[in-house]
Structure 1
Amino acid sequence: MKSLSFAFMIVVLFNYFINALADNDHYIITIKTKINLKDYDDDQNVKDAVDVFVNDKLNDIYDIIEENKDTYTLENGQMDERLEELDSIVMNKRHHRSTKLLFVNQVNPQNITAIQNLQNLQKRSDNSTEILDDKIEEYIPVESKLVSPICPLDSGYAVVIYASDEVIKKVKKLPDIKRCNKSIPTENDANTYYNLDFIQKETNWTDVIVQDRFKNVSRNFYSHLSLLSQSHFDSESTEVYDNTYYYPKTAGQDIDIYFIEESGYFDYDEFDTYNGSRTITCDAISDINYDFTELSYDDERRVKGCEVSNIKNTSHGTIVSMTAGGKYTGAAKKANLHIIATSLHSFSELQSLEYIRKHARPNKTIINISRTGYGYYSEIQEKIIELRRSGVIIFVAAGNNKENCCSSMHLYGGFDDVITVGATEDTIDRDISEVFYPSVGGFYLFEKDGTDYFRDYGTSYATPLVAGVAATIMSEHTEIRYNYNLMKKTLIDMSLKDILYGLPGETANRFINNGKRVVYSPNNAYHGCGENSGYSKCSKGCCSKDNKCIEFDGSSASQYCYVSLGCQSEYSEFCLSNKSTSTSTRLVNNRCGPGYGSCIIKKSRYIDGVGCCSKDGYCGTSSQHCGKGCQSEFGACYSSN
């Protein structure tokens, strides 16, 4: 098999809305004070020392904000209005070398007293004739919208700051910063069933963005995206499907995705450039009648869209490109999108690949080819190998004919150095197969909220979906130079293994995942354990390999509680260590141990009962038998022992 036997299985689904992209946010910072804060309210000296120390830290944080105010720019290109206070007259006084700000605690304004006491102490201890302003720090009280003290805690002093991503990275590096957590809005509806901090920890993303407008719609709009960011949905574990798309904030930013398509048009909200922060263009046309034309910057087709003269499908390229990087429908919402309008002829495709090679940025360029056929073209294969060597990653469609696409005669799934993407539907949950996207070609099935919707499926749309996920991986890890081999390995490692049904034995059973695996229940109903049930822990018994809670009662069902069979100790009350190799045909007075035998009973060729041998030599299944002192050579024991 020449080509990569790697076909991601995607349910191709579409949607139309997205929450506003977040920029800056509030963070609760805990500062280590090195002072026992239990005496804070009772000892004025302790209170004064802590308040002065915390206020100095807030001045350090404020300096970072001033130095990095440009990082607070919003998606619309405007400066965040909270930064206006930096330009006020009071703030300008800070430029005096002996002036600091006194950040008033709005809950407990008495922190001003500590600073005043410090100033009075400095003045009383100064006996020189020098100007005091040059020696004594002057504090200017302010009620800032950017930084503010809150209250002492047992573990430190809590403050709140309003920070950009860049500011929060630098604040975390300051000494005496114990914790830094984003402030989470609390609501009384189902919008907060997910834990953003946990997702950020699980994925290691710099920040998490949520698209959840249609999470409660019965037809599961946009579930082609929500499926990317969770493990296998099991209605017995979480009852309701979480139709929410979770993705990293970078969202493919500064990554170029090229599409070899007959056409592409950008007169849709999907193709928002966010005030020019990303590029969406038709770069060139490779036409059977007019050969190859690079569109100039003053050609309106470059920004409005273009097509070849002998076009067969007028909407395919538009839908493919929005699936990869559309503002609402796309997986990589900030990626640069480039259409190369290409006729359905191999020489045109070769021309387009060469154009991309000349303009590609190494390790920042993806090519999407959502077209298939039959025949081997050594020239195109050589060009693909050349593109791979130059750091370009190519995704191609496997085709919709349910055929083995690994033959070199299969365009392009059977070629070397490409990542081949398959598609599937109706394998996760039947309702999820009924999905729709905003109509592009003028045909629609129904109208909702002023938008006409149509539906489609197949590897043509699965391929750009995977390409979009790859773009988010690349933008999130700019320190890594992703190439074909590394991206292929990364996607395979991140994929969900063996969750699809009815596949031929030679087909790779890998379902695309963007790094977020935990499955949440919108109605907070969890009947299982582990990642498929919101990382819930079994309150009784063990969490099996397939994320089910099993009660250990000494029967054969307890086999699932063994570590050797995949018991997940992190989500279990306990797991059992490996079974004793010895068995007993009978026990006298339920005794076990040396001279008695094992608590694992075998009357014939099958094991009929499993028990634990306590430290006192008695069989049982309680924590007294299976816990501390349990004799593992004569029965099962909790793995923690």
Structure 2
Amino acid sequence: MNNCSFIFIIFIIFNYLFHCLLAENNYYLISIRRSSNDKEYDKESVSTQIAINEMVNDIMNDIYEIIENHKETYALKDAYLSDEVVKIIKKLPNVIHCKISKRTVAFRSINTMENNISSNKYYNSEDILNETKWKGLEIQENQFNNETLAYSHLSLISQGQYKYTENSNYTYDNNYYFPSTAGKGIDLYVIDSGLNINLHEADFDTYKNTPDERIITCDGRIENGEFNPVYKMEDCLIESLDDDEHGTLVSIAAIGKINGVAKKANLHMLATDYGDSDDLTALDYIKQHATPHKTVVNISRGCEYGVECYSQSIQNKITELINYGIIIIVSAGNTYESNCIGQIYTSCEGVIPIGAISNNYIYDLGMEDVYEPAIYTSYGECVDLFAPGTIRVSREGNNEILEMVSGTSFSSAITAGVVATIMSENSNIDYTFYLMKEKLIDLSLKDVIRDLDENTPNRFLNNGKKIVYQSSKSDVLLDEFSD
């Protein structure tokens, strides 16, 4: 890749330079290229890397000298470089870009509720295996409650479109059907607010001392563009963020043993603040440590509402990752509108943006009502698929609902889980971004989402099992009133 051989982050320390207590620190992303013939920095020879490092040091010194010589041009209250200084920096030899690091937000809305239930058993395992061609089948048998819709984020993606029939003696199949490989051997990296496994420890079971033993870890914490390793799980949070559960709930949706899609996948949390410099550091860490064709990344964040925050530096790093065989799933956003222009992730090439359908409640048609865009979801031609946007974190066995959350943050995580199951089930295939996107589109349910913007692809996430089963309502009633 020749368009950007090396990227570094400059920390503009206004307090130090100007002794101004009112000033805040700000970060700028400076992209440089030594030569158009250089490879990516990590792939270059040691001698070339040394030459690049020396060049970076020289440019750093030049930039700080420019800052000192033009300090009278800054708006000290905001601590931004003046337009004049940015233009001077851009004209330095080997400098490609100079942009202020921008903030992102998590795509989550919050709901809470309580519950009550019923049950199901009526499927044909042989028929499912014949249809899906899976090596093995596992079934999470979930009771159905048309008020709470617990586990619907799982059952909806493992069957064809449910159609309501008036006066029918049958009801919706709430079971989750998935390949027995279930993401085994696949690494899921989550760039988010952090991880607190105490929120629901059962979902983070590592299956220790079993053939399915997996990794649940927090690789590091990233703030101000700086990576710091995490040695104790309780340190895996960005304390400055208001929504400290977001990353945990996203992880549960993707890999949770009870409430997640890829129940045997590995989890690598990168607890990351909301600056694009932080995301850039996280993406670079993944490039250094991920296994090609065995890794999926979930990013459930993006620009603030009404703000364009596209980053060429982020695009360059994404391009490096997809060339390396890494799959990246991103949230479409919770902007209630088309969200494909000027955005830090949905506008990027090489990612798979996911919108959300409305599985948070139903009306007269029962589960058929869920096949419509969630009221918060972004849309547009860049949105490749839609998935359930509401998850209900439930206890195993008694179905007690601990928390209900909605947002494209979770439709993205659910899709990342499906990607992990596809990769583990087809371990002989080296999936690239292009192959995985094609696979997801091929498996998806077409034209089932009502009232969707005509410029938005009408595709609903499916894991390969499209047979639709229904249980007898009389069986449900018997289960509801049995002890």
- Asked if 1:260 corresponds to 2:171, the answer is no
Partner of 2:296: 366
1:11-22 map, 5 Å:
none
Per the alignment, in what secondary structure is the counterpart of residue 522 of structure 1? strand
State the one-letter code of the partner of 2:132.
T
Residue aligned with 1:491, SS = helix
CA apart distance, 1:457 = 1.2
What secondary structure sits across from 1:264 in the alignment? Answer: coil
Which of 477, 481, 496 is the equivalent residue of 2:430? 481
Q: CA deviation at 1:313?
A: 1.0
**Is contact 2:358–2:390 with CA below 8 Å preserved after alignment?**
no
Query: What letter is aligned with 2:298?
Result: N
2:221 equivalent to 1:285: yes
| Aligned twin of 1:391 | 325
Alignment partner of 1:349 is 2:282: no
Residue of 300, 303, 322 corresponding to 2:232: 300
Deviations 1:218-261 (A, max 9, x none): 53310010000011101229741111100000000000010111
How far apart in 1 are the matches of 2:318 and 2:232?
31
How much does 1:312 deviate?
Answer: 2.5
295, 303, 316: which one aligns with 1:382: 316
Per-residue CA shift, 1:550-583, capped at 9, x if unaligned?
xxxxxxxxxxxxxxxxxxxxxxxxxxxxxxxxxx
Contact kept in structure 2, 1:287 and 1:309, CA below 8 Å: no
Partner of 2:70: none
Determine if the alignment matches structure 1 residue 507 to structure 2 residue 444.
no
Q: 1:224 aligns with which of 133, 140, 153?
A: 153
Q: Distance in 1 between matches of 2:214 and 2:235?
A: 16
Shift of 1:505: 0.8
Contact 1:325-1:337 within 8 A present in 2 as well = yes
| 1:341 match: secondary structure | strand
Shift of residue 411 of structure 1?
2.2
What is the alpha-carbon distance in structure 2 between the residues aligned to residue 221 and residue 439 of structure 1? 7
Is 2:442 the counterpart of 1:493? yes
The residue identity in structure 2 corresponding to 1:224 is H
Select the structure of larger CA radius of gyration. Answer: 1
Rate the CA distance shift 1:359–1:515 in 2: closer, same or farther, 3 A.
Answer: same
Cα distance change of structure 1 residues 256 and 202 upon mapping to structure 2, 3 Å threshold:
same
Unaligned runs of 5+ in 2: 1-109, 371-388, 475-483
Report the alpha carbon displacement of residue 265 of structure 1 after superposing the two structures with TM: 1.3
| C-alpha separation in 2, matches of 1:478 and 1:497 | 27
Q: Secondary structure at the match of 2:220?
A: strand
Amino acid at match of 1:519: V
| Separation in 2, partners of 1:265, 1:427 | 24
Residues 314, 232 of structure 1: alpha-carbon distance in 2 compared, 3 angstrom cutoff? same
Give unpaired runs (5+ residues) of structure 1: 1-11, 17-188, 441-447, 526-641
CA apart distance, 1:520: 0.4
Indicate the residue corresponding to 1:318 in structure 2.
248
1:216 Cα deviation (Å)? Answer: 5.8
Q: Cα gap change, 1:502/1:427 in structure 2, threshold over 3 Å: closer, same or farther?
A: farther
SS for the counterpart of 1:410 is coil
**Paired residues of 2:238 and 2:244 also in contact (CA < 8 A):** no
Percent identity between the two aligned chains: 40
What CA RMSD, in Å, does the superposition of the two structures yield over aligned residues? 3.0
Counterpart of 1:520, as a letter, is: Y
Deviations 1:588-617 (A, max 9, x none): xxxxxxxxxxxxxxxxxxxxxxxxxxxxxx
**SS of the residue 2:172 aligns to:** coil
- Is 1:437 matched with 2:392? yes
- State the TM-score, normalizing by the size of structure 1: 0.48
Matches for 1:150-189 after TM superposition, within 5 Å: none
CA contact (8 A) 2:284 2:317 kept: yes
Structure 2 residue 412 is matched with structure 1 residue 463: yes
Structure 1 residues 13 and 490: CA distance shift in structure 2, 3 A: farther
Could you tell me how far 1:215 is from its partner in structure 2?
3.5
How much has 1:427 moved relative to structure 2? Answer: 10
TM-score (norm 2): 0.63
Matched, 1:336 2:336: no
- For 1:283 and 1:502, the matched residues in 2 are separated by 42
